[in-house]
Amino acid sequence: IKFFVGGNWKMNGDKESLGELIMTLNTASLNDETEVVCGAPSIYLDYVRSKLDQRIGVAAQNCYKVPKGAFTGEISPAMIKDCGIEWVILGHSERRHVFGESDELIGQKVAHCLESDLGVIACIGEKLEEREAGTTEDVVFEQTKVIADNVRDWSHVVLAYEPVWAIGTGKTATPDQAQEVHEKLRGWLRENLSDAVADSVRIIYGGSVTGGNCKELAAQPDVDGFLVGGASLKPEFVDIINARS
């Protein structure tokens, strides 16, 4: 399985600072065995794709579920692809919990993106109260089921486990905590879909990944990469990309 490192820039950066980051990435020595994708704000997708080395992919951070229409403020997979972008992040906890996106809507987006031949980084994860109540499995399995119901071809899907309590909080799931959920997710894929899907789908971890903790996380057998937030805007993103080197 090819290690996958996504950088989610969220609503950060301007042409100057992103231009500097792009120069850093373009000139960095990156592990050839790792697939790298940067999630840029939609207004900068075209700019980033034109400047970033072709060995690095670009992702939109969200999109809508239809090709075009009267949906003010939204962008479609068709538009994303027209800018030369090959990926989209869907179901991020900030979309779910800040903007109120439902499992159903996220599932519809997944289906439309895959039909449009756009790769999907699909995010799942439990909130702190859910973990403390012992319902982590129920929550992530339910979220995964809605995604799975909308996927025909898993070769264009990366599953990102992001415990909500670890995103931007500085609290990282321990390598054991991450491995435990990743292993259970792979088991769910095996039981409900197939061995082939379970053995090939990349399950990546997100939640306060840094240059300091990435190597230990990357060493876990079921952690196939990362979705990196804040650290993806800093030079240490290169260290995270090279976590398996």
**Which residues have a catalytic role annotated?**
92, 162
Structure tokens at 243: 């976590």
Strands 119-124 and 157-161: parallel
CB atoms closer than 10 angstroms to residue 119: 17
Calpha distance 162→153 (Å, rounded): 23
Q: For residue 220, with 0-12 CB atoms within 10 Å meaning exposed, 13-18 middle and 19 or more buried, which class applies?
A: middle
* Phi, psi of 81, rounded to the nearest 5 degrees: -65, -35
User: Please, are residues 174 and 220 in contact by the beta-carbon 8 Å criterion?
Assistant: no
User: Please, are residues 174 and 241 in contact by the beta-carbon 8 Å criterion?
Assistant: no
> Which amino acid does the sequence have at 66?
V
Of 230, 228, 221, 156, give the one whose Cα is nearest residue 185: 221
